[in-house]
């Protein structure tokens, strides 16, 4: 079956591109995270703590959407809007204290994308600066990249914490090696990926969100439920970070174990996709309340499409069918393409125990756009 002939795919893509035309102009001077009464907020104006506001880890995704639009349309207006985010993020370097391992999420879709697409030397400088900050978080004894900074409440000692999400940050290090020819960045990235492969991925293919190591000895201490339901559960966005993230490391290194690990996590994810294709916050959460997380579905769809591109024809069908099922379920049930809402996906959740669930989140829209453009054959691979 030629999936490209399915009408809903072309329809969804055209609706997404059309929405980006008008919402990009409406929000051109913002760095949105979610919506308030249907209108994009602006994270760059939030007066939060050092881990909030302009330092928010999601602040690269709007710029990433604009670079995807620039790549697919050639319209320089999208480049101009993307650079609004890039310029505002300079404040993070001067503030410094709010930056942690998520500089990959922040600078790959903005500065590095700019440099790769346009050759902008200032953007290259920003990307390399961020890569050096990320490399500086590496614990050489434990062979992991520390996730977050100190907990200002004093309740948690995060010195030895690493999280599954960082698989999306380490492509910044792979890029830095490719750009500078200095192997240290890539070596750090691979050592971290190896540690995650050994300590985060369970035998059944499910993954842990947070693992604590002794920062002095590197020994495994324990894991935490993190943003999932509980310790030992299966936070779905963590699953999607894992299956797509290991595929990214495979693409940059060719190390077969990374591809096999991505497939192992993907198999677990596929086996747990509900009949209706809509993904819950945690695969092991209670039946009631049934909270969804569209971001997990969109990220997983991207990863499944990328895995399919790396395997033979006999294997491809399983990954492609799962990706299309996830995207079709989102399109049929959880998309808002009207002008009543600046975001598209409507039922995203940041974590199981958060106060709010099933609202718009910008990275859900980013990965939904990325997935549709992958199917169309003209996405920009910014990871």
What is the DSSP annotation of 290-351? --B-HHHHHHHHHHHHHHHTTS-HHHHHHHHHHHHHHHHHHHHHSB--STT-S-SB--B-S-
Cα–Cα distance for residue pair 52/57, rounded to 1 Å: 8
Say which of 41, 114, 165, 342 is annotated catalytic: 165
**Residue tagged 């949105």 (tokens):** 32
Residues 6+ positions from 275 with CB-CB distance below 8 Å: none
Say which of 41, 42, 90, 102 is annotated catalytic: 102
Pairing of strands 161-163, 144-145: unpaired
Contact call for residues 32 and 45 (beta carbons, < 8 A): no
Is-catalytic flag, 288?
no
Q: How many CA atoms lie within 13 A of 159 on its CB side?
A: 9
Is-catalytic flag, 204?
no
Residues 6+ positions from 251 with CB-CB distance below 8 Å: 306, 310
CA trace torsion 142, 143, 145, 149 (10° rounding):
20
Alpha-carbon separation of residue 348 from 35, 54, 175, 316, 352 (angstroms) = 12, 21, 30, 28, 11
Helix (H) / strand (E) element for 40: namely strand 39-40
Looking at the annotation, which residues are catalytic?
102, 165
């Amino acid at each position: 079956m030629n999936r490209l002939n399915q009408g809903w795919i072309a329809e969804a893509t055209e609706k997404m591109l059309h929405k980006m035309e008008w919402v990009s102009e409406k929000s051109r001077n913002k760095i949105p995270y979610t919506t308030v009464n249907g209108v994009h907020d602006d994270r760059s104006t939030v007066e939060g703590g050092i881990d909030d506001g302009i330092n928010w880890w999601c602040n690269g995704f709007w710029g990433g959407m604009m670079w995807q639009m620039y790549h697919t349309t050639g319209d320089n207006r999208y480049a101009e809007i993307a650079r609004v985010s890039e310029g505002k993020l300079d404040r993070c370097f001067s503030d410094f204290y709010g930056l942690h391992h998520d500089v990959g999420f922040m600078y790959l879709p903005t500065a590095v994308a700019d440099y790769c697409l346009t050759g902008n030397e200032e953007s290259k400088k920003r990307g390399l600066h961020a890569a050096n900050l990320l490399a500086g978080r590496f614990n050489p004894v434990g062979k992991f990249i520390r996730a977050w900074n100190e907990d200002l409440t004093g309740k948690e000692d995060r010195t030895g914490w690493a999280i599954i999400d960082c698989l999306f940050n380490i492509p910044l290090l792979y890029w830095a090696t490719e750009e500078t020819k200095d192997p240290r960045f890539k070596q750090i990235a691979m050592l971290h990926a190896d540690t995650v492969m050994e300590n985060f991925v369970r035998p059944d293919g499910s993954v842990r969100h947070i693992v604590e190591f002794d920062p002095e000895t590197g020994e495994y201490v324990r894991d935490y439920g993190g943003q999932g339901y509980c310790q030992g559960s299966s936070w779905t966005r963590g699953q999607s970070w894992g299956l797509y993230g290991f595929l990214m490391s495979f693409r940059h290194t060719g190390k077969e174990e990374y591809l096999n690990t991505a497939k192992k996590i993907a198999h677990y994810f596929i086996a747990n996709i509900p009949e209706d294709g809509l993904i819950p916050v945690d695969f092991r959460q209670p039946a009631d309340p049934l909270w969804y997380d569209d971001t997990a579905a969109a990220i997983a769809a991207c990863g499944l499409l990328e895995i399919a591109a790396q395997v033979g024809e006999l294997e491809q069908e399983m990954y492609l069918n799962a990706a299309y099922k996830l995207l079709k379920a989102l399109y049929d049930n959880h998309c808002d393409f009207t002008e009543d809402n600046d975001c598209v996906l409507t039922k995203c959740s940041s974590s199981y125990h958060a106060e709010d669930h099933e609202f718009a989140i910008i990275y859900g829209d980013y990965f939904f756009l990325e997935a549709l453009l992958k199917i169309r054959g003209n996405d920009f691979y910014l990871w």
